[in-house]
Chain A
Amino acid sequence: MDLNYSTEELAFRDEVRAWLGANLPAELKDKAYLPKEELLRWHRILARKGWVAPAWPKEWGGTGWNVVQRYIFEEELGYAGAPPIIPFGVTMCAAVLLAFGTEAQKKRFLPRIYNGDDFWCQGYSEPGSGSDLASLKTKAEKKDNHYIVNGQKIWTTLAHYADWIFCLVRTDPTVEKRQEGISFLLIDMKSPGITVRPLILMDGAHSVNEVFFDDVRVPVENRVHHENAGWTVAKYLLGHERMNTGRIGESKRELQKLKDSNKEKLGDVRWRDRLTRVEVELMALEITNLRFLDRMRRTGQPPGADVSMLKIKGTEIQQALTELAMQAADPAAPGTQKIERRYLDMRKTTIYAGSNEIQRNIIAKMTLGL
């Protein structure tokens, strides 16, 4: 047993850290929200370096890093305060195309995702289908060489920036097992019949939307995998998504900022002990994450369902850090509004990407056999 990174891994971390120090523009750091152009600016800086899509196969622009290097890279991004790499194209849509797409689909979409030419969003949730995603109703009827899509998606992050949306739609409403009537479509956001309506969240920010589809025509060639096999794709993506959900680098940065900006408050034992407990939780999460990575590296197997705990603990820690910041902040001080906004904003983390209750269901069923 050796919990330390190897010399090579440490050298790799230093290389990433040094590069970020020299290439991450100061004005992009620590921003809860960035305009599209700024997000793409950062995306393109990474793309030019060849680091925007580390997990892809090398032939499509991946780095060939192993899971530990990829983790180190992501942690360093978070720890440096870098904007997030918007996952919908690079991480999600690309993963689906690489696993299920035709050669033509890969050639058409992957280079544009890599270079930041297309901005993607994800069309999963619907007003009546949140945690129970398989109940989704947005329907796609085949006519000539097209699907005619009608329905509504909700909570669509950055749909107002997006050029494309990948959607789960119902192509067969008659099957008994509803998972078997779903397909995975790629839809051009400029298609006639699409309307995007902003949803303003309680922190006052606009990041999510409703997306309405009104007789939207989608060429059949934009379907990924077989018709009615969309649930297989969705499940694959879910497994793919669950690693690196702990936001460890980001939380380390928040913790350090919290300590640095509240030197006096550290003398308050009640606050200090709460902070220490969160710090210890974060240490434990980091080691737990490394244990999972070590297991993946050793067995060559994809992550098991138990990695859902990374999302549960990671988001609980993110929220706890915002609570500590609130507790330390003077309500009347000028900087406090930002802290309050972040407190409000972070409430979403235990809800999105499979609520923490759904994550617990996953562990209960898949890992514990309940």
Chain B
Amino acid sequence: MNFDYNEEQQLLADSVRRFLQKDYDFEKRKAILEKGWSEQVWATFAELGLTGLPLSPDYGGFGGGAVDLMSVMEAFGEALVVEPYLPTVLAAAAIAKAGSPEQKQSILPAVVQGKMRLALATGPRGVIGAPVADTIVFFREGKLQAVERSSLELKPHRTLDDLAAADIAFQAEDSNPALDEVLDFGAALSCAEAVGAMKFACDTTLEYLKTRRQFGVPIGAFQALQHRMVDMFIAYEQAKSMACLACSKIDSHENAADRARAVSAGKIKIADSARLISQESVQLHGGMGMSEELKVSHTFRRLTVLARRFGDADRHLARFASL
């Protein structure tokens, strides 16, 4: 038993954090939002090895698992990254699992090199990353399809948390064994992303409690607020524990039911913690928490969405009980 990241994972996490702190602060992110993603940022992801991280060395990747991606996803959650990293990773994982040799050869090395972005569709609506992807990946009649985005009819929109998404006029399967495995991988990674967003919400709220003064004292001097802050902190720690569990079960290759159970448990806890932390972070900021001008309101939106992405708590409660 050991909860540490290994040296490689730690180094990667540090360099990702350093980059995001420097080039992805709240102001710089605003500029990126206009377009929906930044080419420069994506190129840096590739330089840092992120685009190759989960892919096999056969295609130039590093063969990493969910735990290797955890610290990256946490950092992305903290910075509210909008680039289609998770869609690309998941679509690539689907190709690696179920694609033809030709599909693998023509797509995966390009993904590793940062030359190609992907989206994974599980239905016609709300395909995340589709408008900024080169290739859309989906299943039809159990067979993996990889189609150029330009050949499809897209109706783009932005999600509540500012991601580029689109409705696509086509049919795509929402479940089969290979796809389910990829979606569980995605669910586990989204847990880690949510944990990063929760960390920001907790840190910034704590800072606010220490600096905002009313009645002549920092508002953090009031016990009513202290206890609410502590409950946020506990919800964060509990969520982090479950993200660790979900990601390490994904990597453990135990039986499918065990894996699915851990992922569902993780999603349930993350959904509950995300709601508590997002709501309390806004409430404790008072009116400022409602403002577009503060990052915490954007984190609220990201957490609200992450609580439901890859299935909401109700869906995972049902699956957990069925396993």
The answer to whether A276 touches B245, judged by C-beta atoms less than 8 angstroms apart, is no
The answer to whether B1 touches A280, judged by C-beta atoms less than 8 angstroms apart, is no
Which one of A3, A284, A312 lies within 8 Å of B269 (CB-CB)?
Answer: A284
The answer to whether A283 touches B242, judged by C-beta atoms less than 8 angstroms apart, is yes
Q: Which residues of chain A (265-291) have a CB below 8 Å from chain B?
A: 266, 272-273, 276-277, 279-281, 283-285, 287-288, 290-291
Chain A residues contacting B317 (CB-CB under 8 Å) are 272-273, 276-277
Chain A residues contacting B176 (CB-CB under 8 Å) are none
Q: Does B209 contact A (CB under 8 A)?
A: yes
The answer to whether A276 touches B321, judged by C-beta atoms less than 8 angstroms apart, is yes
The answer to whether A280 touches B248, judged by C-beta atoms less than 8 angstroms apart, is no
The answer to whether A280 touches B268, judged by C-beta atoms less than 8 angstroms apart, is yes
Name, among B206, B231, B234, B321, the residue most crowded by chain A CB atoms within 10 Å (CB to CB).
B234
Q: Of A37-45, A84-92, A358-366, which binds chain B? A: A358-366
> What is the CA–CA distance of A266 and B320 in the complex, to the nearest angstrom?
12
The answer to whether A309 touches B234, judged by C-beta atoms less than 8 angstroms apart, is yes
> Chain B nearest CB: distance from A73 CB in Å?
15
- In the complex, the chain B residue whose C-beta lies closest to that of A1 is B67
> What is the CA–CA distance of A276 and B315 in the complex, to the nearest angstrom?
12
The interface residues of chain A, by DSSP majority, are classed as helix
Which one of B229, B233, B234, B245 lies within 8 Å of A3 (CB-CB)?
Answer: B245
Q: Which residues of chain B (1-18) have a CB below 8 Å from chain A?
A: 1-6, 9
The answer to whether B244 touches A368, judged by C-beta atoms less than 8 angstroms apart, is no
Contact A370:B1 (CB < 8 A) given known A276-B320, A287-B245, A312-B234? no
Q: Of B33-41, B162-170, B219-227, which binds chain A? A: B219-227
Q: Does A324 contact B (CB under 8 A)?
A: no
> Chain B nearest CB: distance from A316 CB in Å?
10
In the complex, how many residues of chain B place their beta carbon closer than 8 angstroms to a beta carbon of chain A?
40
- In the complex, the chain A residue whose C-beta lies closest to that of B220 is A370
Contact A277:B242 (CB < 8 A) given known A6-B1, A298-B4? no
The answer to whether A280 touches B269, judged by C-beta atoms less than 8 angstroms apart, is yes
> What is the CA–CA distance of A50 and B6 in the complex, to the nearest angstrom?
37
Q: Which residues of chain A (1-60) have a CB below 8 Å from chain B?
A: 1-6, 9
**Mask: chain A, 302-318; 1 = CB below 8 Å from B; 0 = not:** 00001001001100000
> Chain B nearest CB: distance from A227 CB in Å?
34
Q: Does A300 contact B (CB under 8 A)?
A: no
Which one of B3, B220, B227 lies within 8 Å of A357 (CB-CB)?
Answer: B227
> Chain A nearest CB: distance from B252 CB in Å?
7
Chain B residues contacting A364 (CB-CB under 8 Å) are 223, 226-227, 229-230
A-B interface pairs (CB < 8 A), number: 115
Chain B residues contacting A306 (CB-CB under 8 Å) are 233, 237
Chain B residues contacting A287 (CB-CB under 8 Å) are 241-242, 244-245
> Chain A nearest CB: distance from B202 CB in Å?
9
Q: Does B159 contact A (CB under 8 A)?
A: no
The answer to whether B1 touches A5, judged by C-beta atoms less than 8 angstroms apart, is yes
Q: Does A204 contact B (CB under 8 A)?
A: no
Chain B residues contacting A4 (CB-CB under 8 Å) are 1, 252
- In the complex, the chain B residue whose C-beta lies closest to that of A309 is B234
**Mask: chain B, 207-226; 1 = CB below 8 Å from A; 0 = not:** 00110000000001101001
> What is the CA–CA distance of A364 and B210 in the complex, to the nearest angstrom?
12
- In the complex, the chain A residue whose C-beta lies closest to that of B6 is A1
Contact A294:B2 (CB < 8 A) given known A276-B320, A284-B242? yes
Q: Which residues of chain A (334-370) have a CB below 8 Å from chain B?
A: 357, 360-361, 363-364, 367-370
The answer to whether B3 touches A1, judged by C-beta atoms less than 8 angstroms apart, is yes
The answer to whether A370 touches B244, judged by C-beta atoms less than 8 angstroms apart, is no
The answer to whether B238 touches A288, judged by C-beta atoms less than 8 angstroms apart, is yes
Chain B residues contacting A9 (CB-CB under 8 Å) are 1
> Chain A nearest CB: distance from B53 CB in Å?
15
> Chain A nearest CB: distance from B277 CB in Å?
14
The answer to whether A370 touches B226, judged by C-beta atoms less than 8 angstroms apart, is yes
Chain B residues contacting A291 (CB-CB under 8 Å) are 3, 241, 244
**Can you pick out 26 interface pairs between chain A and chain B where the beta carbons lie within 8 Å of each other?**
A3-B244, A4-B1, A4-B252, A266-B321, A273-B317, A280-B265, A280-B269, A280-B320, A283-B245, A284-B239, A284-B242, A285-B238, A285-B241, A288-B238, A290-B1, A291-B244, A306-B237, A309-B234, A357-B227, A361-B226, A363-B233, A368-B233, A370-B206, A370-B210, A370-B220, A370-B221
Interface residues, chain A, with chain B CB atoms under 8 Å away: 1-6, 9, 68, 266, 272-273, 276-277, 279-281, 283-285, 287-288, 290-291, 294-295, 298, 306, 309, 312-313, 357, 360-361, 363-364, 367-370
10 nearest interchain CB pairs?
Answer: A287-B241, A364-B226, A284-B238, A370-B220, A360-B230, A288-B241, A360-B227, A309-B234, A3-B248, A363-B230
Known pairs A284-B241, A288-B241, A361-B223 / 8 extra A-B pairs, C-beta < 8 Å? A2-B2, A4-B1, A4-B252, A9-B1, A276-B317, A294-B2, A360-B226, A370-B229
